[in-house]
Amino acid sequence: MKELKSETILEVKNLKKVYIKKNGDPHIAVNEISFELMKGEIFSFLGPNGAGKSTTINMLTAQLTPTSGEILFQGQSLKDNPIFAKSKVGVVAQHNNLDRGLTARENLIYHGQYFGMSQAEAANRADELLESFGLTDWKNDYVKSFSGGMAQRLKIARAIMHQPEILFLDEPTTGLDPAYREVLWQQVLRLNKEFNTTVFLTTHYMEEPERFSDKVAIYNKGVIKAIGTVQELRELVPSQTIISITLDYVTEEIVDEVKKLPNVISLSVKDEKNCIIYAENSKTVLNELLIWIENKHLSLESINLSATTLDDIFIYLTTNDKKNN
């Protein structure tokens, strides 16, 4: 049984990071965001590329100094006590930062020892983790010979070697095939369930947070647009069903005209060919839309009526200018 999530493990208050560009102009990567994580929670931090997700993770894991704001681990300031904070976290970075000159087993043993484990304790735990992640057969191989999937599994094993209280996963399944993604998720969920490990996740695969997250934040341009459970976020979207259309091109004129159709509440342009329509009565709008497309002699590649997914919520919140929180 998962423990009751009552204890706040991480508090982020008005966190801000400003970079100075080469021309001297400031670039606000993270703009005064605030949120908190409860112990044992799986929290997904979703945003488009370049939104500032990794910058946020780097600040939360003491790898980057914030411009302003406060980060508290179990009430203790990261700025005042970075060593305490670092003892609480495990980090799986986007890139491969494993020790290529060491074997898989040595990578884990050294990591454990950096966190105060004895060689024997670290070796025992390393063997358990290698077995658990299906890497026992390669335990004495140098990491430089590992495939992307093997390296990713080892990175996760290393991050949990010292049994962190918060596990930061920065796009952990990017580049992995679906089978490995499933294996990794089973491991993460087991940690969460058995050890009450809090998980902070960024990912581009929307089905992952939809399946596993207790709480999701939609983040764009340095600002949290919305935060809550998937169901709470779903309520921010104007309708529970959506119409996705693919035309050979989407122009501003088309967007304006579709928005004027009866029962259409809102429209998000996904890219130059795709847009998503939120409507009060989707089935009626679907019929009207088909007639309108035919009258306009537009080339319709596909049209689809579906229930709102996290992907749709994400697109709605990150493509609309207005703040939705």
| Residues forming the site for other proteins (CB under 8 A) | 61-65, 83-84, 86-87, 89, 91, 93, 95, 97-102, 106, 110-111, 113-117, 121, 125, 128-129, 132, 158, 160, 162-163, 190-191, 194-195
Please identify, using beta-carbon distances, which residue of 131 and 272 lies nearer to other proteins. 131
* CA contacts within 13 A on the Cβ side of 282: 18
CB of 116 to other proteins, least distance (A): 4
Alpha-helical runs (H) found in 169-212: 178-195, 207-212
CB of 158 to other proteins, least distance (A): 7
Structure tokens at 167: 């596990």
CA dihedral 29, 32, 35, 39 (to 10 degrees): 60
- Kindly calculate the radius of gyration of the chain based on its CA atoms and give it in whole angstroms: 23
Please identify, using beta-carbon distances, which residue of 201 and 247 lies nearer to other proteins. 201
Within its chain, how far is the Cα of 208 from the centroid? 9
Of the candidates 46, 50, 60, the one whose C-alpha atom is nearest the C-alpha of residue 233 is 46
Please identify, using beta-carbon distances, which residue of 50 and 116 lies nearer to other proteins. 116
Please identify, using beta-carbon distances, which residue of 110 and 212 lies nearer to other proteins. 110
DSSP character string of 206-248: THHHHHH-SEEEEEETTEEEEEE-HHHHHTTSS-SEEEEEEES
219 Cβ contact list (under 8 Å, min separation 6): 33, 45, 46, 47, 51, 52, 53, 56, 225
Structure tokens at 306: 């579906």
137 Cβ contact list (under 8 Å, min separation 6): none
Please identify, using beta-carbon distances, which residue of 97 and 240 lies nearer to other proteins. 97
Please identify, using beta-carbon distances, which residue of 8 and 132 lies nearer to other proteins. 132
Please identify, using beta-carbon distances, which residue of 99 and 288 lies nearer to other proteins. 99
CB of 88 to other proteins, least distance (A): 9
CB of 113 to other proteins, least distance (A): 5
CB of 138 to other proteins, least distance (A): 18
CB of 68 to other proteins, least distance (A): 15
CB of 29 to other proteins, least distance (A): 13
| 15 sits in which H/E element | strand 8-20
Please identify, using beta-carbon distances, which residue of 35 and 115 lies nearer to other proteins. 115
Count CB atoms within 10 A of the CB of residue 267: 23
CB of 65 to other proteins, least distance (A): 5
Cα torsion angle, 187, 188, 189, 193, sign: positive
